[in-house]
Amino acid sequence: MFSPGSAPFEWQVGWRYTRAGRAGRRNGFISFISFVSVVGIALGVAALIIVLSVMNGFQTEVRDRMLAAIAHIEVHSADGAALPDWPALAAQAKAEPGVRAAAPFVAVQSLLARGELMRGAVVRGVLPEQEAQITELAAGLARDGTLAQLQPGAWRIMLGGELARALVVRVGDPVTLIAPGGQVTPAGVTPRLKQFTVAGIFSVGHYEYDSALALIHLDDAARLYRTDGATGLQLRLDDVQQARHIGAALTERLGPGVLVRDWTRTNAAWYDAVQIEKRMMGIILTLIVAVAAFNLVSTLVMTVTDKRADIAILRTLGASPRSIMGIFVVQGATAGVIGTLSGVLLGLLVAFNVGAIVGAIERLLGVAFLPGSIYVITRMPSQPLAADIVPIALISLALAFLATLYPSWRASRINPAEALRYE
């Protein structure tokens, strides 16, 4: 006689039903539906892992290229004027844990002209020796000696590659910088113009900065834009992911006289768009997993109908409704676990090798999914994260478990006398 409250009894019968559903001609259709449910869960979980991993890869690539040209945190005067004592402010900022380096700068929207060609750009005045500690762009230019050509009074400028291409200039060519504001003269307001010599051309792989960023010396910028020195500080952090936390701490440390903005707020439109897109894509693909998981409902309903006689016999031998329910929960949950684990393994296998897989498909079909002439990134990046994979697996298991509850409850409500009447 069976012990109704024994967990091994429920596990053994549930596992037997899971295996028996794949054998025998009578249960062939039920076995097929069960197999489709498991495969559906596996494919849904795998697709979710692969898509989120590729999105993480693209996000990291774009973020790293963007942060190669900008600081992790910027500190400005609250009234927009020049910082009265930027060295003291830099020392105070570097005292905050997590801040690696600080450098002054002046950044002003201006116009660059070459003949009849004219383009808008952000002209950033920097100190070369300190700027190299802030951005990867400046560090690279410092290593090859190009950044050292920005000397005070030399009136030299460095342009992004796309900006230089738009102005049709090369190293050594002159460009005219038109500063905002103008000068008041007896003849009226005239623009402030200054001719610079192109000292170098850089590329960070991010169109926004390659097409609209120019570097000059800080002293030249202060003279041209008539500031009393640096108008802000650039900070580099040990961990870029802590930018918001450290920015909030700096706001308290530096007081109300300054405005602190981290890179997620400086590029809020891009950052928020990426977060929303990733969240929505996760919700959409989770629905695929949900559809596959709830296919288990039809599988278990048919199994319960087919096993009515077995259920009745178990009840007459002493099995309680709770035990009957547990048997079918075990059967459905087993399918969910198998499907989820298979999906996680498949998803990780593809995610870690997506570059090679896409490359093989491109060679086979003779096409380029990411042509270098259009996209800066020519390979398919992927970055699987445990923070994505663990919730995916847990959600899949939870959906599979929920899908078993109604059929299992129906099985526990079967009347043994009626079930055996026509057997």
Residue 213's DSSP bridge partners are 122
For the whole model, what pTM was predicted? 0.75
List the one residue out of 162, 189, 161, 156 whose CA is nearest residue 174.
Answer: 156
Rounded-to-integer distance, Cα 328 and Cα 306, Å: 13
Per-residue pLDDT of the chain (423 residues; tens, 9 = 90+): 444 444 466 667 766 666 654 444 455 666 777 788 888 889 989 999 999 999 898 888 888 888 888 899 999 887 778 888 889 999 999 999 999 999 999 999 999 999 889 999 999 999 999 999 999 999 999 888 889 999 999 999 999 999 999 999 999 999 999 988 766 666 556 678 899 999 999 988 888 888 999 999 999 999 998 888 889 999 999 999 899 999 999 988 888 888 999 998 888 777 788 888 888 888 888 888 888 777 788 878 877 777 777 778 777 777 787 888 888 888 888 888 999 999 999 999 999 998 888 888 888 888 877 765 556 666 788 899 998 899 999 999 998 888 888 888 888 777 776 666 655
Q: Can you tell me whether residue 248 is helix, strand or coil?
A: helix
CA angle centred on 323, ends 318 and 328, rounded to 5°: 130
Q: Residue 404 has what pLDDT?
A: 87
Rounded to whole angstroms, the Cα distance separating 407 from 325 reads 8
Q: Are 213 and 135 in contact (CB under 8 A)?
A: no
Question: Which pLDDT belongs to residue 22?
Answer: 45
The span from the CA of 217 to the CA of 112, in Å, is: 16
Per-position b or e across 5-39, b if 16+ CB within 10 A of its CB: eeeebbeebbeebbeebeeeeebeebbebbeebbb
pLDDT at 151: 92
C-beta separation of 214 from 221 below 8 A: no
Please name the residues in contact with 182: beta carbons below 8 A apart, sequence gap of 6 or more.
189, 190, 191, 192
